[in-house]
Structure 1
Amino acid sequence: MRVGSNPEKENKSIQLDSYHRVIVPVYIPDFEGYFENSFEGFKLCIESLLKTVHTKTRITIYNNNCHPSVKEYIDLQFKNSIYIDQVIHSKKNLGKINAILAASKGNIERLITITDADVLFEQGWQSAIEDIFVNFPEAGMVSPVPSSKALTNYTSSTWFYGFFRGKLEFQKVLDPKAMHLFDLSIGNAKLMYDSIHLENYLVIKNKSNLAEAVMGCGHFVATLKREVFDLGPNEPAYIKIDGGVEEKFIDIPNDNLGYLRLATKRNYAYHIGNKTEHWMTEIVSNLIPETSNGIDSSKILDKKINPFSRKIGSLLLRIMSNKTSRNLFLKKFGLQNPSNY
C-alpha cells in the first residue's frame, strides 16, 4: 500500500558539484606473504589522494572482501573525508574491473580516474591531466605516469591523429628516475626499460595550441572520459585480473571509440607495489592539501577520430610491426639508434 506521492518525483534532475570521480578498488585479504605490507601502501595511496584532489572531486572506494581492519580503515576515511562519498563493501572478491564498472556506471561525473590501491599521487597530477583533456579534445584516456614503451598499445586512433593532424617527435624524458622506480616496483626479473627508453619518449603535439603529451600510457592509474565505460562492453568481467580483462574493458573501447591514449610528460604518480619505502612516506608527508576548484568542465569537449581514420591508424601500427619500417618511422621522428628502442 502506498500513501501520498514521493516528493522526489517533483525533483527529478540530479545536480552535482563534482565533475571528476576517482575509483579505488582494493583487495587486501590478510597481512601475510604477498600482502604483508600492502595495508601500509594503501594508506599512503589514500592519504596522497586526499591531499591532492581538487574540490570538484569525489572518490569511490570498492572493498573487494578485504581484511576487517582494512574495512574499518575505509569506513573511518568515509566518515572523516568530504571527498570520499561512496564506499562499497563486497563479501566476495569480484575483481578490479567489476569494481570499476559498478562505480563508473552508477555515477555521472564527466571524468573518471581508475587507480590501483598501491599508487602514490604527486602534487598537481589532476590539473596536469585535465589540461590534456582540454587541449586535446579527442583524448579519452590520460595517465599521470608517462611510459616510453606504450606507444603502440591500442593507439591506432592516437597514431592517426599524431601523423595527420598533430606532430610527433622524440623528446628527452623529463623524469627518468621516476620511470626507473616504476620499473623496479613491478618486480620483474628483467627490467622493462633499457637506457634508451629512459632517455627519450615519443611526444604528440596539437598543432593548433602547441599542447604536448606523451604517446600512449598504462592503465594502473589513468583518467578516462566516462563514455569509454558507457559505450564499452555491457557484460560483467568473468576474470578477476590479467587474462586480457583490462584490455577488453578499458584499452580496446577507448581506441575503438576514436579516443586518444596519452600521458603527461612529467611523472605525477608512483607505483608503490607491495612494499613501502622511506622515500614514499617522505613524498606524502611533504604534500600540501589542494585547495583548487578545478577547471570549467565545459571546456572538456568530446571529439573522436572517425572509423575510417582509425583504420588508417591501425595500418600505421601494422607497418610498425615490421622492424625495418618501425626503425624508419622512429628515426623520422628524431630518435637516434631506433634499432635499440
Structure 2
Amino acid sequence: MRIGNNPAKENSNLKIESYHRVVIPVYIPNLTEDYFKDGLKILVLCLESLLLTIHSKTRVTLINNNCCSEVVDYLQKIYQSNDLVDQLLHSKINLGKINAIYAAVKSNLEPLISISDADVMFLPNWQKEVEKIINVFPEAGMVSPVPTSLGYRSKYMFNTIYYALTKGKLKFSDVEDSDALVNFQKSIGREKMYNKQHLSKYLTISKDETNAVIGCGHFVATFRAEVFKKSPNEVCKLKIVGGSESDYFDIPNDKANLLRLATTSNYAYHLGNTIEQWMIEKLDRIKESNFTNSPLKSLSDVKYVKKHGYFIGKMLHKVLFNKAKKVYFSYKGMKADY
C-alpha cells in the first residue's frame, strides 16, 4: 500500500553542479600474489594524487571490481571522507574493465568523463591542460594528459588525420619531456618502445597558439560524453585487453567524428604494479606545493569533423602513414626510421 505522494515528483528535473567526472575501476583481488602485492600502495598514490589535483566541479566514481577486503576498506574510507568522491560502486564478481566502466559512464550526466586505470599518478595541471585542449579544439572527443610519439600509428583516428591534414597545421614538434616517455615504456615493460627519433619529436597540430599531440593511449584519457553514444550496445565479453579498449573507446570516438589528441607536456605517470621511492617523493612534492585548480568558466559546445572526414582520413592514413610513410615523413623533415 502506498500512502501520500512521493516528494521527488514535485521537482523531477535532474540538475548537477559538476561538469567533469573521473571514473576509476579497481581490481585488486589480493595482496599476496607478486603481481598484486603493491596494489593497495599504488592505489593510494593514484587516488591521493587525483584528489590533490582536481577542481571543485569534478566528481569521482570508484568501482570496486571484486577487490579484497583491505582494498574495499580503503575505498570505503575515501568515499566517506571526501565529498568529491560521490560514487562507490561494488561488485562481488569481476565484471571486466569495460563493463565496470560503462556501468558508471552510462549513468552519469557530466559532459566530460575521464577514465583512468588505478595505477596512474596525476600531476598538477593535468585537468587544466586537458580541458584547455577540449575548449580550443571543440572537435576533440578524447584527450590524454600523457603524450606519445607513436599515437599517429593507431588506425582508429581517421578523423584526426583528416583534420590535421586539411587544416594545414600538422608538423613535427620537439618532445617536451623525453624522460616521461622513457619512464612510460619502463612502466609497461617495453624498454625499446621508443627510438631516438621518437624521444625527440612527435606529430602535433596547433590552433590559437595551442599545440596538441595527435593520437593517445587509453590508460588515462578524458572523453566528451558524446563519444559513448557510438559505443557498442552489447556487453563486453572480455575481462581485459583483447581489443576491448579499442572497441569501446577508440572506435566510438572516431565513429563520432571527433579528434583523438594529447597534451604536449606530460601530466600523469603510469606507475605499474611495483612501488618505487620516486613515486612517494613525487606525491610528497605535490602535497607540499599546495596546488589549487580552478574550473572552466564555460565549456565549449562539441563540434564534429565533417562526415566524410572518417573515410577520407582512412585513405590518407593508409597512404601517407603506411605505404608512402618514408617519403611523406622525409618531406616533413623527419628521418625514415620514425
Post-superposition shift, 1:65? Answer: 0.5
Distance in 2 (CA, whole Å) between partners of 1:265 and 1:166 is 18
For residue 265 of structure 1, give the secondary structure of its aligned residue in structure 2. coil
Post-superposition shift, 1:152? Answer: 2.7
Conserved 8 A contact 1:62-1:87: yes
Distance in 2 (CA, whole Å) between partners of 1:289 and 1:64 is 32
For residue 242 of structure 2, give the secondary structure of its aligned residue in structure 1. coil
Structure 2 letter corresponding to 1:175: D
Is residue 2:310 matched to residue 1:310? yes
Post-superposition shift, 1:166? Answer: 4.4
Q: Which residue of 2 aligns with 1:88?
A: 89
Post-superposition shift, 1:290? Answer: 4.5
Structure 2 letter corresponding to 1:234: N
Is residue 2:42 matched to residue 1:41? yes
Conserved 8 A contact 1:53-1:290: no
Conserved 8 A contact 2:79-2:86: yes
For residue 283 of structure 1, give the secondary structure of its aligned residue in structure 2. helix
Conserved 8 A contact 1:133-1:139: yes
Q: Could you tell which deviates more after superposition, 257-266 or 280-289?
A: 280-289
Distance in 2 (CA, whole Å) between partners of 1:235 and 1:107 is 19
Q: Which residue of 2 aligns with 1:262?
A: 261
Q: Which residue of 2 aligns with 1:223?
A: 222
Conserved 8 A contact 2:230-2:253: no
Structure 1 letter corresponding to 2:337: N
Conserved 8 A contact 1:55-1:294: yes
For residue 9 of structure 2, give the secondary structure of its aligned residue in structure 1. helix
Q: Could you tell which deviates more after superposition, 283-292 or 249-258?
A: 283-292
Post-superposition shift, 1:306? Answer: 2.3
Q: Which residue of 2 aligns with 1:156?
A: 158
Distance in 2 (CA, whole Å) between partners of 1:21 and 1:290 is 20
Q: Deviations over 1:142-164 (max 9, x none)?
A: 00000000113111100111111
Structure 2 letter corresponding to 1:140: G
- Write out the 4+ residue segments of structure 1 that deviate beyond 2 Å after TM superposition: 288-293, 320-323, 331-334
Q: What TM-score do the two structures reach when normalised by structure 1? A: 0.95
Mind listing any 5+ residue stretches in structure 1 that lack a counterpart? Answer: none
Distance in 1 (CA, whole Å) between partners of 2:136 and 2:41 is 37
Distance in 1 (CA, whole Å) between partners of 2:62 and 2:123 is 19
Conserved 8 A contact 2:176-2:264: yes
Structure 2 letter corresponding to 1:192: M
For residue 198 of structure 2, give the secondary structure of its aligned residue in structure 1. helix
Post-superposition shift, 1:242? Answer: 1.0
* 1:48-197 equivalences in 2 (<5 Å): 48-153=49-154, 154-188=156-190, 190-197=191-198
Mind listing any 5+ residue stretches in structure 2 that lack a counterpart? Answer: none
Distance 1:226 1:316, change over 3 A: same
Structure 1 letter corresponding to 2:272: G
Conserved 8 A contact 1:254-1:260: yes
Distance in 2 (CA, whole Å) between partners of 1:13 and 1:87 is 23
Q: Which residue of 2 aligns with 1:284?
A: 283
Conserved 8 A contact 2:146-2:262: yes
Conserved 8 A contact 2:128-2:293: no
Distance in 2 (CA, whole Å) between partners of 1:296 and 1:263 is 22
Q: Which residue of 2 aligns with 1:275?
A: 274
Q: Deviations over 1:191-214 (max 9, x none)?
A: 2111111110001112xx232100
Is residue 2:19 matched to residue 1:25? no
Conserved 8 A contact 2:153-2:321: no
Distance in 1 (CA, whole Å) between partners of 2:290 and 2:332 is 40
Distance in 2 (CA, whole Å) between partners of 1:280 and 1:312 is 44
Structure 1 letter corresponding to 2:169: K
Conserved 8 A contact 2:125-2:293: no
Conserved 8 A contact 1:166-1:205: no
Distance in 2 (CA, whole Å) between partners of 1:329 and 1:301 is 34
For residue 267 of structure 1, give the secondary structure of its aligned residue in structure 2. coil
Q: What TM-score do the two structures reach when normalised by structure 2? A: 0.96
Distance 1:20 1:289, change over 3 A: farther
Post-superposition shift, 1:183? Answer: 0.4
Question: Percent of aligned pairs with the same residue?
Answer: 46
Q: Deviations over 1:213-243 (max 9, x none)?
A: 0010000000000111133212211101111
Q: How many residues align?
A: 334
